[in-house]
Amino acid sequence: MLEFFALVALTAALTRFVRQGQAVAGFRRWLASVSSLASALLRCAHCLSFWIALGLTVLLGVIRNRLDDPIGWIEGPLFVILGWRGAFYINRQLDQRAQDSTAAVRMARKCAICDKPFTEGFLERHGLYFCTLQCWFSFLKERPTSYNKLFTPAGEFIRQEIYPMSYRDIASQEAHDLLESDAGYRYIDVRSTGEFTNGHPAGAVNIPIAHREELGMVPNPDFLKVVDINFERDDKLIVGCQSGGRSMRAAEALIAAGFTDVANVRGGFGGARNEGGEVLEKGWFELGLPVEYGESEGRTYAALGGSRQG
């Protein structure tokens, strides 16, 4: 009788280990990739229990034969059947308990946006739960992020997980058309003050996301503060730089800080090129769009409240 119990327990344990054990996860993936039959066997707890019970019964028969106590013709099939069915029943009960426990925990969780009870479709992000992608996107779109979480002490922008497509990319011609419309768009040139003085889109204001110094570009930790002074969260903003890289970072920072209508200018003022110099996107200047030079009155970084030049 002890052998029956041992066979059932060992079959149940091996079935669970083969199907769920992390130590054999790689083996399961490999086996599934080389044989569809093996993959189906691993997915079927009923089948797997049978074959493991059969194998253990054969092993037990070999051991018993060496001990001069062979398994009888009736005893052998009983070992297989009891090991198979007993192991399957045990694993089914364990799976059910795990599911009940998980379900209880899930039902205690609610969507951070709409308070909907937890379901299989929930997403977990940063300790919060969201019932749909739309709720997750709404959270990202509506939450303002504090400045100290957007920039390092050195002033470098920290990439954020933001609402997908929350800012849009537009060409220079489209940016010009929007500025000429009555929709109330404003152009923020995020290049350095020197670049702005040497030429910028007509009507643009200058708030650098980085300052140019002798050793290169230095991040501007006051970028968002100056934007905050001069613009509201729902203002229609177009951001551009020389070729599109800095303005993309600026757009991400603005969205993460809570600005809701932001467009990034592909190609910027000077156009975007690949490593071979081939033009990928023509810029504002190359398209012959209106350009201003010098320090436009009331629209320089200093005039907008910035305290550093470069």
Residue 159 within a domain: yes
pLDDT at 148 (0 to 100): 57
Instruction: Indicate if 135 and 169 belong to the same structural domain.
Output: no
* Cα 144–Cα 148–Cα 151 angle in degrees, nearest 5: 100
The end-to-end CA distance of the chain, in Å, is: 87
Q: Of these residues, 111, 131, 135, 241, which one is catalytic? A: 241
Q: How many CB atoms lie within 10 A of CB 161?
A: 11
What is the average per-residue pLDDT within 161-188?
Answer: 86
Let me know: does 230 contact 305? Beta carbons within 8 Å. yes
What residue type is assigned to position 257 of the chain?
A
Give domain status of residue 129, yes or no. yes
Mean pLDDT of 163-183: 86
Domain count, the chain: 3
Pair of tokens at residue 94: 């364990």
* Separation between Cα atoms, residue 264 and residue 7, nearest integer Å: 67
- Highest-confidence range of 24-28, 29-33, 66-70, 184-188, by mean pLDDT? 184-188
Examine the domain organization and report whether 231 and 251 are in the same domain: yes
Q: Same structural domain for residues 67 and 126?
A: no
Does residue 47 sit in the same domain as residue 124? no
Q: Are residues 132 and 86 in the same domain?
A: no
Cβ(310)–Cβ(213) below 8 Å: yes
pLDDT of residue 43: 67
Residue 264 has pLDDT above 90, yes or no: yes
Residue 304, domain member (yes or no) = no
Separation in Å, CA 41 to CA 25, 38, 46, 81, 109: 15, 5, 9, 18, 35
- The confidence band for 269, taking pLDDT boundaries of 50, 70 and 90, is very high
Instruction: Read off the pLDDT of residues 97-120 as tens digits, 9 standing for 90 and up.
Output: 766 555 555 556 788 778 787 666
Quick one: pLDDT at residue 102?
55
3-state secondary structure of 212: strand
Find the range with the poorest average confidence among 136-145, 194-203, 286-295.
136-145
Q: Is residue 150 part of a domain?
A: no
Query: Which CA distances in Å does 99 have to 84, 106, 114, 123, 125?
Result: 23, 10, 25, 18, 22
Q: How many other CB atoms are found less than 10 A from the CB of residue 30?
A: 12
262 domain-assigned: yes
241 is catalytic: yes
Is residue 201 within 8 A of residue 289, CB to CB? The reply is yes
Residue of higher predicted confidence among 143 and 174: 174
Q: Check residue 270 and give its pLDDT.
A: 92
**Which structural domain range is residue 139 located in?**
109-143
Q: What is the pLDDT of residues 202-219, one digit of tens each?
A: 999 999 999 888 878 888
Is the model more confident about 7 or about 297? 297
In this model, does residue 140 exceed pLDDT 70?
A: no
Six-digit token pair at 253?
């920072």
Q: Is there a single domain that holds both residue 83 and residue 162?
A: no
Most confident of 61-70, 151-160, 239-248: 239-248
Report yes or no on 148 lying in a domain.
no
Q: Are residues 7 and 117 in the same domain?
A: no
Instruction: For residue 130, report the phi and psi dihedrals to the nearest 5 degrees.
Output: -135, 130
Whether residue 66 lies inside any domain: the answer is: yes
**Quick one: 166 and 232 in the same domain?**
yes
pLDDT at 164 over 60: no
Quick check: is 16 in a domain?
A: yes
Same domain, 133 and 67: no
Please tell me whether residues 89 and 118 are part of one structural domain: no
Total number of residues shown for the chain? 310
